[in-house]
Amino acid sequence: MSGLNLAQLQAVHYTEGPCLVLAGAGSGKTRVITHKIARLIETGLQPRRIAAITFTNKAAAEMRERAAGLIGRQAKEVLVCTFHALGVRMVREDGHVLGLKPSFSILDQDDVTGILKDCAGGTTDLATARQWQWTISNWKNQGWDARKALAMAQDDHERSIALIMQRYEERLSAYQSVDFDDLIGMPMRLLRHHPEVREKWQRLLGHVLVDEYQDTNATQYELLKFLVGERARFTAVGDDDQSIYGWRGATLDNLKKLPVDFPQLKVIKLEQNYRSTSAILRAANNVIGPNPKLFPKTLFSELGEGEPVRIVDCDNEEHEAERAVARIQGLRAAANPPPAWKNFAILYRANHQAKPFEKALRRANIPYKVSGGTSFFDRAGIRDLCAWFRLWINNDDDPAFLRAITSPRRGVGHTTLGALGEFATQHKQSMFGALFNAMLPAVVPKRGLEGLLEFGRQINDLEYRARRTHGAEDARAFLADWLKEIGYEQHIYDGEDSEKVAAARWSNVLEFCDWMAQRAGGQIDDTAATTTVAPTKSLLEVAQTIALLSTISEREQEQDMVVLSTLHASKGLEWPHVILAGVTEGMLPFKLDDDEGRQQKVTDDVAARLQEERRLMYVGITRAQRSLAVSWTKKRKKGREMVACQPSRFIAEMKLDAATSREDPREKLRQLRAEFAAKAQAAPHTAS
C-alpha cells in the first residue's frame, strides 16, 4: 500500500459496506480499485468472489494487467469484465428460465437495424430504422419492454415505435437472439423475478467494484442493487464532473440515489491529481465551477505551476489546423530530444472536425491516427464476410449462421428462420445442423426449406474449397468468385440509400479480401510477435486467425502517431500535450438543431444539456498533462456557406491571464527557427 495517499488508503481499507469513491480526473482510481482487490483477498475473500465491472474491454484489460502485477496469479480468478460481458455470463448460465438457450446470438447494430426494417415491411429507409433503434435502446435502458413503452407513449409517433418494438421483441425471441441492451435488461429481470437466481449470484459475488459509476444508466443501477442485495458489499468509483454520456442513457440520478438507497454509504473523495500541472487544473476547476455539485470537490496538483494554458484564435478551420501543426512542430523543436508524436493529441466535439487537421498533418508529413471512429474490421461488410468464415470453421456458430444467411438474403424470411430456430432448440441442435434433420420439412414451408437447403449445400461446398485454396493468387480468385456467386456487390448497393456510401463499403470489402489473400500467400503473419513472412496457408487457416484482429488493433494503437479524437472517445486517456480545437459557441457547447431528434432525447432541459457540455469541456482540459492549447475559429463551414463564430463561453469561464494565454504558434515557430539559424551562424566563430 506504500505510495497511496490518505484518501486512497481510506478507500482501499473500507470493506465493511457500501462505499462511493469520488475520483477526480487523474486521481489514481484504477490504482485504488486494484489495491482494493488485493485488500479484499488479504482480508479472506476468495478472488473468484470479487467482481470488478468496467465500461470498456480496454479498461478491463488494463485492470487485469495491473491487478496481476499486484497480486500475481490470483488475479486470473477475479471476475474483471464489462457490464455486458457479465450480462452474457449470467444469461448463458440462467437464461433458460427466460426461455433462452445457452448458445443464443448477440446481434450487432447492423443486425438490429435490418430486423427493424423487416418489422416495418422492409420499406423503411436506414435513417428512420436507426432512429427507431435509438429510441428503443433508450426505453430498454430505462427498464421498459414494448408493453411498458406502449403504455407510456405520449403521441402517435411514440405509439408506432412501441408497436415496432413489440414486433422486434417477437423476432428476437424466434431467432433466440439478444441485442446489447438485453445483456443488461435480461440479467436484471432474472434477478428481480427469480429469487433462486438472485440468491445464487449474491452468494457468488462477495464484493462488487464498479468503475466509471457516473456512466451507469437506470437499468445498470437496478442490476447492481440486485447483485449486492441487503449486505451491500460494493465500491462505486466515479466522478459526477465527468458524466458525459447522458445521450446514451447515463444518469447522475444514480449518484443521487446511492445515499438514499444505502443510508450507511461511506463517501470518500480523491482530489489530488497526479496527471496535470496546476495551471491546467485551475482552468478545469474554473470551468466546472458553475455546475451544481452533488459532492463538492476541488482538484489540486503537486506537479508545479507549469506552462500557462494558451488560447489560439484562428480565421477558419484550415487556419486552425495550420496553427495546430505549427504548435506541435514548435513544441518538438523547443525540446531536446523532441517528444514523440504520440505525446500529442488534437481533440474536438464532432467527428467531421477531423478533416482539416488530417489534411494539414499529411501536408507536414506528420504521422497521425484518428481515434474513436469505426474500426475497419467492425464495418458491416467486413462483419458479413467474417460471419461466413466463422460458419465455415464452426457450423455450430448460430450468430454467424443468422448473419450469413441474411447477407445477402436468399428467399429465407423471418418466419422460416423463426421456425428453424424453434426446431433447432427442441432437437438440441445448432441452426445449421438442423438444416439436415429429416424431420425439418414437417415444420418449414417448402419455399423456405429450399432456400435453407441450398444455403447449407453452399456452405459445405465453400468450406471444402477454402480448405484446399492455398497462396495469394488462388485466394484472390476464390474470394472474387465467391462474392460474385452470392451477389454480394449488388446486396451492398441495394442496402444503401447513397451510391457513394455503397461504393465505399464495396471498396472496404475488396480491401479486406486483399488482406486475406496476402496472409494466404504468407506475405504477412499476424500470429507472430512481429509482422513476418510466413509459409503459404489455406484460406480456411487464414479465416481461423481472424480472432486475432483485436490484438492487431492493439498493436497499431502503440504506433508513434499524433492522435485525433473526439472528446467522448478521449475520456480515460491522457497526453503530455493537448490541443482542444473548435471551441466555439454552437460546437462546444453544442447547439441542437430543432430536427435533431436523436440528440434531442438527451433532455429538453437546456440547463441540463449545458451542464453536460461543460463537463465535456472539463474532460477535454483534464486530458492534458504538461501543456494545453484551446483554439477557436472566427468562421466555420456550415454546408456550402461560411458562418461567423464566437468563442465558447467556456473559454471565458477558464479565467485565464490575458497577458500569458494568447499565442500565435506560427510566430513562435518562426522565432525558434530564427534562434536556431543564429546559433548555427555563431557556431563557426565560436570554434575559431
Residues with a catalytic annotation lie at 29-30, 211-212, 242, 623
Please tell me the number of Cα atoms within 13 Å of 62 on its side-chain side.
14
Q: How far is it, in rounded angstroms, from Cα 169 to Cα 221?
A: 23
Three-state DSSP at 364 gives: coil
* Residue (of 136, 143, 145, 107) closest to 220 by Cα position: 143
Residue 408: cis peptide before it, omega within 30 degrees of 0:
yes
* Residue (of 83, 84, 112, 88) closest to 102 by Cα position: 88
Please tell me the number of Cα atoms within 13 Å of 194 on its side-chain side.
17
User: How would DSSP label each residue in 26-68?
Assistant: TS-HHHHHHHHHHHHHHTT--GGGEEEEESSHHHHHHHHHHHH
Contact 582, 348 (CB under 8 A): yes
Residue 686 CB neighbour total at 10 angstroms: 7
What letter does residue 95 receive in the DSSP assignment?
G
- Phi and psi at 566, nearest 5°, equal -70, 160
- Measured CA distances, 356 to 148, 321, 324, 325 (Å): 46, 6, 10, 11
Give the chain's length.
Answer: 688
Q: How far is it, in rounded angstroms, from Cα 576 to Cα 586?
A: 28
Helices (H) then strands (E): counts for the chain: 31, 18
Who contacts 480 (Cβ-Cβ below 8 Å, separation ≥6)?
513
For strand 344-348 and strand 368-371, is the pairing parallel, antiparallel, or unpaired?
unpaired
Calculate helix-pair angle for 446-467, 380-393, nearest 10 degrees. Answer: 80
User: Using CB atoms within 10 A of its CB, is residue 304 exposed (0-12), middle (13-18) or buried (19+)?
Assistant: exposed
End-to-end Cα, the chain, rounded Å: 59
Amino acid at 76: K
Amino acid at 262: F
Q: How far is it, in rounded angstroms, from Cα 400 to Cα 417?
A: 13
How far, rounded to the nearest angstrom, does the alpha carbon of residue 212 sit from its chain's CA centroid? 14
Residue 339: cis peptide before it, omega within 30 degrees of 0:
no
Dihedral angle of Cα 502, 508, 514, 519, to the nearest 10 degrees: -140
Who contacts 593 (Cβ-Cβ below 8 Å, separation ≥6)?
none
Who contacts 352 (Cβ-Cβ below 8 Å, separation ≥6)?
none
Residue entry with cell 405520449: 154
Angle at 620 between CA 616 and CA 622, to 5 degrees: 115
Calculate helix-pair angle for 398-405, 446-467, nearest 10 degrees. Answer: 110
C-alpha cell at 626: 504538461
Contact 344, 575 (CB under 8 A): yes
Residue entry with cell 456510401: 501
* Residue (of 435, 416, 434) closest to 425 by Cα position: 434
Who contacts 398 (Cβ-Cβ below 8 Å, separation ≥6)?
103, 104, 105, 176, 424, 430, 431, 432
- Phi and psi at 256, nearest 5°, equal -65, -35
